[in-house]
Chain A
Amino acid sequence: MTALQDKPAMPVEKASGSVVATLFRFQSVFGLLAVFVAAIIFSPRRDGAILFLSADNLANVVRAVSEIGIIAVGMTFVILIGGIDLSVGAVLGLAAVGSAVLMVESDWGFLPSIVVVLAIGLVFGALQGMATAMIGIQSFIVTLAGLQIARGLARIWSDGQGVAIAYGDGPNEAPSTFALLGERTFGGLVPIPVLIFAVVAIAAVVFLRISAFSRHLYAVGGNEKAARLSGVPVIRVKIAVFAICGLLASLAGIVHAVQLNQGSPNDGIGYELDAIAAVVIGGTSLAGGRGSVAGTVAGALLLGVLNNILALNNIDSNIQLLIKGLVIVAAAALQRLRPAS
């Protein structure tokens, strides 16, 4: 690890560099463009129309990406400080169960349910942050345990059963306000979950650009010891980052429940790996200190477009896995070639 001053003291997006550096910095954006163009070329056609480009299909792509995208934004923060969060899929399941149980079985209102579920994710994340920052357990281990705990809590809370969500004003019905979260807007074209994802992503980008916190974030990820010596409140930064990640996983769980009309304790199995994949493709270094939310968003969209075009062409599901694996390796390999600063 180099000394702190060798690392950009500001978000990487602002770091200046040569043309090559720029290319690498926006690796995932170019990757997304390439996959998008390939999707158009390889899209099945019906009556001369390119099916991939149909408004309905593009809406499906972004809708399917929104949950992983929301989680991946939180994961970016964690990975930026050199950590990892394996609990996000299980926290998503816990939040999906929580919103269903509170609104359907306990007949809570929309707002209190959402606030409590988000708070659960926030506190859960903060506790994991404390365990890793204050006790000094590696985040991989802490969140591996967190995964089991969140999954266990979800199973206990739901009695191990999926909790079906019906909408209405009666008892055992979720408020119709909740149903709106799963609807579409702008002429029935844009799913609300996509708007939520967009808001989260924009807020994260803005936050990283304007807050002093972001300097701390990159400093901790770049060189924790140097950051501590230069007065960065490392422990507070870590706790905050895991809290944000838990909060966003919870938000994704709420979106998940409303999209599927059910909260099941088995929801979100393996989602942590998809989120990590999006972050890696987005060019964020797993060693910490380098990367951007914009890259992650592009990475998530890239995976979404890839999933969609493979499915539209009915590529065998085993070969789909193979292709996705190769894309992740390719993205990581590009990282290694990237100039140091």
Chain B
Amino acid sequence: MSTLTADDLRARVGELLAAHPPASTDRLEFLRARFDAGLAWVHYPAGLGGLDAPRELQNVVEAELAKAGAPDNNPRRIGIGLGMAAPTILRFGTEEQKQRYLRPLWTGEEVWCQLFSEPGAGSDLAALGTRAVRDGDEWVVNGQKVWTSVAHIARFAILVTRTNPDVPKHQGMTYFICDMTDPGVEVRPLRQLTGEAEFNEVFLSGVRIPDANRLGAVGEGWKVAQTTLMNERVAIGGNAIPREGGLIGMVSQTWRDRPELRTPELHDRLLKLWVQAEAARLAGTRLRQQLAVGAPGPEGSAMKLAFANLQQALTGLEIELSGEDGLRYDDWTLRRPEKVDMLGRGPGYRYLRAKGNSIEGGTSEVLRNIISERVLGLPSEPRVDKDVAWKDLPR
């Protein structure tokens, strides 16, 4: 890691701003220049959007750029690319792959989605059955994925497949980068209980993926996927937010603005949630400080779990606090959003969408299993699938 300080980074941001004044620079041009200056994600290697700097210093960069009114890369829209694809490519990608994918991923020119879950493989991701069969320099992929968020706007996908059905499930998987514009990739909207079709079904029929788009070794797909999943949990639970950032701020403001809605019981619950939100925020800060000195550990699972609990309790309370308005909804029309807009819509939407927080990216139940087994060291339940070839598994 380099020995850059906060002041060094401020100086670099100053140079970037001087060379590309945000007011007169095209958004994309600015983002590309920022990437090239190593100020995209400072903890990434030099030449790949970073400066090998401590991760915590990213906050300094963000604050300086925000002050100058610089455009951001719309991180929520490209969350899967940033949170899951990028760290995986960085760890397992070849030099060519890193050069090819990371920059447009970060600028948002290319959106990424995650083709992991299948109708028969959700919590048990390693049971997946989408087949990839080698054909010379290419792989031919057939199967169906489901719940694929933002597949409808994605240019690329991280994809896990089964390449060997004759060995136990964790051993026969291989990980690829899939071009969503390739023939044989079909994306169909799947509507959610919120009314929106934010996720999709993706059908892969005879999709040909060059071997050069493989991430990691053949048969090592599970190991690669583990990196993605660890990072996914951190990405969902570990953002830096100010006090009262996010939903708790919104609900607290409603409380302040509308005294007629107050009751002693709601007051008590709101205060408890306020404390819980602050505790989660501080725990998130600790987690990021830990990350700055090491790799994402199982604590990410705990954060994600805490985040889901909090979001659900808060959105449930918000509806109760809304009185009559809590019985209403903003809009049931089928839409295909590019990102989850928790703060932009009404309490009903927030309440319903928050139900997904404990399912997407690993359910709360599975995260509890991970915590109890990997953190607390408790023995796992008897496994019926350990030494059985994937093709012989009961399903």
Partners in one complex: no
Taking Cβ atoms with an 8 Å cutoff, the residues of B that contact A are: none
